[in-house]
Amino acid sequence: MHQVETLALLLAAVGIVGVLAERFKAPLPMLLIFAGVLLSLIPNGPQIELDPELIFFVILPPLLYIEAYQTPWRKLKDVGDLVSAQAIGLVIVTIFGVAAALKMVIPGMPWAIALTFGAIVSPTDAVSVSAVTRGATIPAKTMDIIRGESLVNDATGLVGYQAAVAAAVTGVFSVWNAGGSLLYVGLGGVGLGLILGLFLRRIRTEVSHRPSEIIASFLSPFVVYLAAEHFKVSGIIAVVSAGLLLGAHGPRMLSSSARVQARANWDSIAYILNGFTFLLIGLEVKPVALKVLKYPLDQLVVSAIVVIATSLVLRLVWTYVTYQSRRLIGQPVPSWKRVIIFSWCGMRGVVSLAAALSLPLTISGGEPFPYRNLLIFLTIVVIAFSLFVQGGTLPFVLRMLNLDPEEMNAEETERMVRLKLTKEAIRALDEAATREGMDRTDPTFQRVVNTYVHVATLNMVARDETENEMVTKLETIAVDSQRRVLLNMRDSNEIDEHLFQQLQNELDLADMHIRAIVLQSD
């Protein structure tokens, strides 16, 4: 099939599977992987040679950027110790633990090869974690740690991967070189991402042309990633750092209309790229399976079970020990239920797949890279298990744990926030009436105020042409005051990012509605 036809087929598959997933309430990532497997079985169907650089340069930057953009920086900072323990400590433990387990099953495998596989499957994947946990009733703080870990642990895993591959190819391994590389790549990525984030923030603040605002938003992750690659630092960490910084200032950078349009476009792009990601995983199953037919079936099964079990046990034990260690510094210790949830949300995904497919074909002497096809096969199995078994059973696990009401009070929080915004709107209207000498007994003024009194929502007030000017002025005052309070609540960690985005979108739509009426009346 030609490339254009293949792309059209994959895009159609994403759309069709999305409709089926919504219709039958099925997990979208699992259906997409299954669809990818089916497509690979079609005679003369799409034969895709998956280029790892396509993942690292085209798919990952925008997906990681939008995940970071929507992650509250202040909340991530509050759980920074736990995120660091998972993103660095757990990754290193997983690399060595999985390597030891695999070498136990296959004694003839060199340590460098086993460590390479450990590094491949060590990081969780932000795209997979986001897709699987979307809509799940997970406590907000636990979700912050899960998202934070998946955003930053790629750098640790990829540095370990590069060191292990170099040792496998050349036969030389240096702990000091690996440690120094991790520091340079990680810290360099953070620094460059923040510098470019500040630069992009300045540009986007100065631009008032809506299409240009949106174009700048879409180009941001690619500019940051390519710059990071140029300076040989972590492109993933740089994109995440820039996304966190721009996300923290985003509500103050863009106009309401630009933000609404950009959000809609980003949602579509993220949906398509996510769909392609899971389809590509499914498409790789057949060619990878054909390449490992020379291995005994029992060896494949035992190897898969051992590495999966090892990674699960290591994650559970490390998380429990990390949480319990907080007692030593007088910090609150999360409940055992949160330990279970966190341990079960370690999904692997496209980063691990890209790393496995990036394995060199030969080593320094010209011989084939040892166990290359086996490592790719085991990577696919680990990814599939994490998405199908862990992701598929996550709702059941959450129901079984029966989380305490105080841990799951999202609806009550939303009601309280809406009430606070309503009170702020009424206060601002009353203050405006005093400041500008408005008649509080005026029927129009009373109707605007009563709308907020009786309806704790951000809906607009009905009006006729004779009331346009006054109602518009009052609505603008109310929306602006609510936006200020909402931003303050977000900055002080009173609300989570999901609720903030939801209410900000309502205010943006209200603001656009007001501006549209003003334009019509001019």
For residue range 171-206, what is the model confidence (pLDDT) as tens digits? 766 666 767 777 888 889 999 999 999 999 888 777
DSSP 362: B
For residue range 227-277, what is the model confidence (pLDDT) as tens digits? 999 998 888 889 989 998 988 776 666 667 777 777 778 888 888 988 888
pTM reported for the whole predicted model: 0.78
DSSP 135: T
Handedness of CA 408, 316, 152, 127 (dihedral sign): negative
For residue range 306-317, what is the model confidence (pLDDT) as tens digits? 999 999 999 999
Compute the mean pLDDT over every residue in the chain, rounded to the nearest whole number: 81
Question: Domains of the chain: which residue ranges?
Answer: 3-402, 410-521
For residue range 459-507, what is the model confidence (pLDDT) as tens digits? 444 444 445 566 677 777 777 788 888 888 877 777 777 778 778 877 7
Asked whether residue 210 carries a pLDDT value surpassing 50, the answer given is yes
Give every CB contact of residue 62 below 8 A, 6+ residues apart in sequence: 218, 221, 222, 269, 270, 273
C-alpha to C-alpha distance for 521 and 513, rounded to whole angstroms:
13
More confident residue, 151 or 65: 65
Q: Does the structural domain 3-402 have CATH classification 3.30.9.10? A: no
For residue range 361-391, what is the model confidence (pLDDT) as tens digits? 888 777 888 999 999 999 999 999 998 899 8
C-beta pairs of 460-468 under 8 Å, 24+ apart in sequence:
460/510, 460/513, 460/514, 463/517, 465/521, 468/517, 468/521
C-alpha to C-alpha distance for 318 and 95, rounded to whole angstroms:
13
Q: Which residue has the tokens 């809609």?
A: 264
Of 90, 221, 215, 225, which is closest to residue 145 (Cα–Cα)? Answer: 90
Asked whether residue 453 carries a pLDDT value surpassing 60, the answer given is no
Q: What is the dihedral of CA 143, 149, 151, 155, to 10 degrees?
A: 180
State the chain's maximal CA–CA distance in angstroms: 90
- Residue 217: its pLDDT value, please? 85
DSSP 86: I
Q: What is the CA radius of gyration of the chain?
A: 26
For residue range 76-98, what is the model confidence (pLDDT) as tens digits? 777 777 888 888 899 999 999 99
Element (H, E) at 65: helix 60-69
- Residue 458: its pLDDT value, please? 46
Helices 126-133 and 391-401, axial angle in degrees (round to 10):
50
- Residue 362: its pLDDT value, please? 83
